[in-house]
Amino acid sequence: MANIPVKKFSQILATHPIILLSSRSGRSNSISPLTRYLPLSDDPPLIGISLKPSSSSYHYIRESGDFILAVPNKTHLKVVHFCGVHTGRDTDKVFHSNLPTSRAKSVSPLLLTSCMANIECKVRDIFRSGNRPFICGEILTITADSYYYDQDWLPTADLIYYNGGNTYRMRDKIIDMSPIRPGYIPPGTVIG
């Protein structure tokens, strides 16, 4: 067995799929990939997420008191990576991702309608935990596409897992997304 640096613990434990976090404050929207989340309770239905305190998503959630967790599939891999390597302060990730959106039933952020599922949440509490705040959200509404989900994920659901750096795993394939890097985005460029 190899010794792994303790700072790599989150990569070792990356056993659940990436989700996209949709957040909004006023007229500003953001999409961010998220791997740090945890189901907390079934009754009431609670989920915890952890964000960098400097992220625009964190500020939007603090201001609005709600958020959406969307489950992307393999067709969203470029969008997932793009949103992970660009900041919402410098880039309109909703525009550049070209993801179809619509109004949510219970919260202010946008639903990502091409994703396999959307989970609408309101903030219950925010805790300090090391260098990342931990947000406890109460799940209000869940919508899922029956092509991908029927009491459980179906074989048609190609979930995306983050391997670290620029690599992702889908089923038994490792995909390197190194060509998509942060930097200048010409106006009108759409990646989705």
C-alpha atoms less than 13 angstroms from C-alpha of 94 in its C-beta half-sphere = 19
C-alpha atoms less than 13 angstroms from C-alpha of 16 in its C-beta half-sphere = 11
Strand-pairing partners, residue 45, are 42
Whether 190 has a pLDDT exceeding 60, the answer reads no
Beta strand pairing call for 132-144 and 45-50:
antiparallel
pLDDT in tens, 129-156: 889 999 999 999 999 999 999 888 899 9
**What is the share, in percent, of the chain residues with pLDDT greater than 70?**
88
Strand-pairing partners, residue 122, are 66, 138
Q: What's the pLDDT band for 2 if we cut at 50, 70, 90?
A: low
Strand-pairing partners, residue 161, are 169
What are the C-alpha distances in Å from 43 to residues 11, 40, 46, 104, 146? 29, 9, 8, 22, 24
The CATH superfamily of 8-174 is Electron Transport, Fmn-binding Protein; Chain A (2.30.110.10)
Q: What's the pLDDT band for 44 if we cut at 50, 70, 90?
A: very high
pTM greater than the 0.75 cutoff: yes
Beta strands in 72-185, from DSSP E residues, in sequence order: 101-103, 110-112, 117-129, 132-144, 161-164, 167-170, 173-176
Q: Please report, for the chain, the start and end positions of each structural domain, with discontinuous segments joined by +.
A: 8-174
Phi, psi angle pair for 8, to nearest 5°: -90, 10
